[in-house]
Chain A
Amino acid sequence: MHHTTAAQGETKATYLWVWGALLLLTAVEVVLAYKRVLPPVHMLEVLLILSVVKAGLITMYFMHLKAELPRMRWLLTVSVTACFALMWIFFFRDADRILTLGVK
């Protein structure tokens, strides 16, 4: 029976690069927050995009999801993303409505 093993074809250098990229993205987030270049809603969107990139690096390289069979990778990614998309639709559209229209 074929079992995928962790770290296929990955070296210490790969992990160090990923670690460095994660630290760099964190620094970018901190600078963005301190400069306050965007209003809260847009800042939230930018920070979330950066967080998703960081989460992608962690799952694909550190958790070796990249090395798993495509069917496992897609099943996990699509199911979790679909649940979060539902949460996003219900929560954030309503939060934005309160901001733009006011509480009726």
Chain B
Amino acid sequence: MATVQHAVHDTQGAYEPSLFGTYSKKIGMWLFLASDSLTFGALLFPYSYGRISNPAWPTPFGKESIANATIMTACLLSSSLTMVLAVMAANRGDKPWTRNWLLATMFFGAAFTVLHAMEWTKLIGENMTPSGNPWSAVPLFGGTFFTLTGMHMLHVTIGVIYLGVIALRKKFLPVLLALWLVGWLITPASSVFHAGIHVLLVGAIVSAIVLFLKPKDYDANDVEVSGLYWHFVDLVWMFIFPLVYLMSTKI
């Protein structure tokens, strides 16, 4: 078998300069985010279409729900601030503060997910399902609401796991597995989250594959790329919050 020689990426002149003046990982993440924004667009536009074309569209979100969603928004905005501070710390080579800010970001992200799960549980308790709701005869409301917000909740959860891998590397795996086990045990079997919590197990398996097959010390570029993903999750919520919650307030 022929020996394959790998070129050293930083060698001057080995490659042409990047067309976009930055490293390929960041360009890759931007391209992914552009495509992911279309996924969310394809969910947000039908929801908004249904909302404005149906005078009978339900408006179930009272003061309690709006207050909850506003706190969730504040959590995500604050997580973006801590994330950008983590990127700053990584750029100046301050590893302890990079990890601290990443952990703070994960805390806000986890708080967002828990608050969102509570909101879902409340709505499901009021007999809202993907195919029906107790407030009106518009079945699309449940389907579009759960798909859109569920997709976003999944993105936030993946983001928290991604940041955990960057911040703690292999040390994050037992933490994630413990969270999965505790979450699974304390969630009632009748709750949708009793099955949904297995996302953490899948995340732990994928993280383990990445961490063991390609172990590395994540640098400032990795922190910046993970930050792009996290800010995008925040950005999407800036559209979901007004379109879903504020357009359907119950006064």
- Interface residue? B125 (CB, 8 A): no
Are A41 and B235 within 8 A (Cβ)? no
Are B234 and A58 within 8 A (Cβ)? yes
Q: DSSP class of B's interface residues: helix, strand, loop or mixed?
A: helix
Are A50 and B242 within 8 A (Cβ)? yes
- A15 and B81 contact, Cβ closer than 8 Å, known pairs A55-B235, A83-B38: yes
When the two chains form the complex, which single residue of B19, B34, B91 contacts A79, counting CB atoms closer than 8 Å? Answer: B34
**Total cross-chain contacts (CB, 8 A):** 151
- CA A19 – CA B49 in complex, angstroms? 30
Are A58 and B235 within 8 A (Cβ)? yes
Are A7 and B91 within 8 A (Cβ)? yes
Smallest CB-CB A-B distances: 9 pairs: A33-B246, A95-B53, A47-B242, A72-B20, A69-B21, A98-B53, A19-B81, A54-B238, A91-B49
Which residue of chain A lies nearest to B83 when distances are taken between CB atoms in the complex? A62
- A47 and B49 contact, Cβ closer than 8 Å, known pairs A58-B234, A87-B41: no
Task: Name the A residues within 8 Å of B42 (CB-CB).
Answer: 87
- Interface residue? B192 (CB, 8 A): no
Identify the B interface with A (CB < 8 A): 12, 15, 17-23, 27, 30, 34, 37-38, 41-42, 45-46, 48-49, 51-53, 55, 66, 70, 73-74, 77-78, 80-81, 83-85, 87-88, 91, 224, 227-228, 231-232, 234-235, 238-239, 241-243, 245-247, 249, 251
Are B51 and A40 within 8 A (Cβ)? yes
Task: Name the B residues within 8 Å of A83 (CB-CB).
Answer: 38, 41
- CA A47 – CA B48 in complex, angstroms? 12
Are A30 and B246 within 8 A (Cβ)? yes
- CA A55 – CA B41 in complex, angstroms? 14
Which residue of chain B lies nearest to A50 when distances are taken between CB atoms in the complex? B242
20 contacts between A and B (CB under 8 A): A1-B17, A2-B17, A6-B224, A6-B227, A19-B77, A23-B74, A26-B70, A26-B74, A41-B52, A44-B247, A54-B238, A58-B235, A63-B227, A68-B20, A72-B21, A80-B34, A91-B46, A92-B48, A98-B53, A99-B52
When the two chains form the complex, which single residue of B19, B46, B49, B73 contacts A71, counting CB atoms closer than 8 Å? Answer: B19
Are A94 and B49 within 8 A (Cβ)? yes
Task: Name the A residues within 8 Å of B74 (CB-CB).
Answer: 23, 26
Task: Name the A residues within 8 Å of B227 (CB-CB).
Answer: 6, 62-63
- CA A80 – CA B38 in complex, angstroms? 8
Are A91 and B70 within 8 A (Cβ)? no
Given A19-B80, A44-B48, 20 more pairs with CB closer than 8 A: A2-B21, A6-B224, A6-B227, A7-B88, A12-B85, A26-B70, A29-B246, A41-B52, A44-B247, A48-B242, A51-B243, A55-B239, A58-B238, A72-B30, A80-B37, A83-B38, A94-B49, A95-B49, A95-B53, A99-B55
